[in-house]
Amino acid sequence: MIAVDPPVRVVVGLLFNDTGRILIARRSTDKRYGGLWEFPGGKVEPGESDPAALRREMREELDAPIIIARVFAGYRFTLGHLSAEFIPISGSIDPADITLLEHDAHHFITADEIAGFPFAPYDKRAITMLRSGLV
């Protein structure tokens, strides 16, 4: 029998400012999916809770504290032989706290404005959640 590794667990930050606009960040061109937009986040480390992982990732990527509001059910994204379980987490962030450390641009937008930005494919399900009002 062939052993199958469990999917990598990845947190997705659906972070809003005080006017209800959501944070998106553009991946640096030297990274996979470079130049595409995403909701910031990253891999959950062994023994780390999903909210703790998102807080850590936001410090590493944006040098910013966040407030967690809700953890949503995850969804699977597979590309070739790579598989990941993405865990959307909503919360808030103060735009004044953001310093880009891994992305080359960011914006706060409404769900209606998402169509104007080319997103990385792994965030399509999170976009659907936003557009349908689940977040």
- Give the domain ranges of the chain: 8-131
**Chain centroid, CA 111 distance in Å:** 15
83: left (phi over 0), alpha (psi -120 to 50) or beta: beta
d(CA 40, CA 106): 10
In the CATH scheme, what is the code of domain 8-131? 3.90.79.10
Amino acid at 57: E
pTM: 0.90
d(CA 16, CA 115): 18
pLDDT along the chain (135 residues), means of 10: 72 97 95 91 96 98 98 88 90 98 96 94 92 86
